[in-house]
Copies of this chain bind each other. A is one copy, B any other.
Amino acid sequence: MPISSEPLGRSSGQYARAAQHTLHTPPAATNGDACMTCAMRQFCAMNPYEFARTRQMDELVLCQRPAKKGEALYRVGDTFNNLYAVRTGSFKKVSLLSDGREQVTGFYLAGEPLGLDGISTGKYASDAIALEDSTVCIMPFERLEVLSREIKAVSQNVYRVLSAEVVRDGNLMMMLGTMTAEERVATFLLDLSRRLQRRAYSSTEFVLRMTREETGSFLGIKLETVSRTLSRFQKEGLIEVHGKEVRIVDLEGLRAAGHETATGDQPRRPPILASECTAKPV
């Protein structure tokens, strides 16, 4: 059974069953060197000590799973079984309010961890939806727990990844609580740029995989405001925009707009929005 053809169903029951299945009968597509052959291995938050531990990580990454654009990896309330690492592509995390309102509460690029909010109650607290055709590595949490009790580096890394998510969320709250629309958009672009750069992509030219509406939802503003602000930045010569394609022209200017205090005081604290885990020991 090729994993790659298995649909990502909407129904939580269906998905839960699929996950159970993979736990007990690894399909043929599973390989023993998921991490060794992964282009993202040195950026992967779930991979402690970067290269060194990939053999052990391979015990953990049971199989990979594709997700087509728009498909859900999991939904709010689905039974939590696995953590995921984005292998290729990108995802949005969507949270729901009881009255039906929803908000994008995060974007996740290759190497970043998904599903951390499920550990606490045994149900995922958000939806994870692919922004483009993507693949993820599946890490059954039970295996991760066992491995983490055997190998110190693994437990340290899980703690670190979880804590990094807490820090990241705190920074997002700051953005939502204190910044103007202009600052939010600038910060958003700079954060994306930084995260892409880390993955050896261009930090000045990239494609926004999310719509204006998703961007606005994430930033706590309306899509029209996102659009207007991008247009203004273009008029001011800070960036060039053509639909989803963005080129950063004046990095310093953009930093000023985003209020990263103009020039050079980076090292003081972790970058706003970054969910990076640089995988150094605690």
Contact present for A163 and B116 (CB under 8 Å): yes
CA separation between A66 and B173, bound complex, in Å? 29
If over half of A's interface residues share one DSSP class (helix, strand or loop), that class is named, otherwise mixed; here it is helix
Which chain B positions have C-beta within 8 A of A166? 116-117, 120, 162, 165-166, 169
22 residue pairs from A and B, CB less than 8 Å apart: A95-B171, A95-B174, A96-B269, A97-B178, A98-B261, A98-B268, A98-B269, A99-B259, A101-B174, A101-B178, A103-B177, A116-B162, A116-B163, A119-B162, A119-B282, A121-B167, A121-B270, A126-B170, A141-B282, A162-B163, A166-B166, A173-B173
CA separation between A217 and B261, bound complex, in Å? 21
Interface size classification for chain A:
35 or more
- With both beta carbons as reference points, the residue of chain B lying nearest to A219 in the complex is identified as B177
Q: In angstroms, how far is the closest chain B Cβ from the Cβ of A163?
A: 4
Contact present for B117 and A170 (CB under 8 Å): yes
Which chain B positions have C-beta within 8 A of A235? none
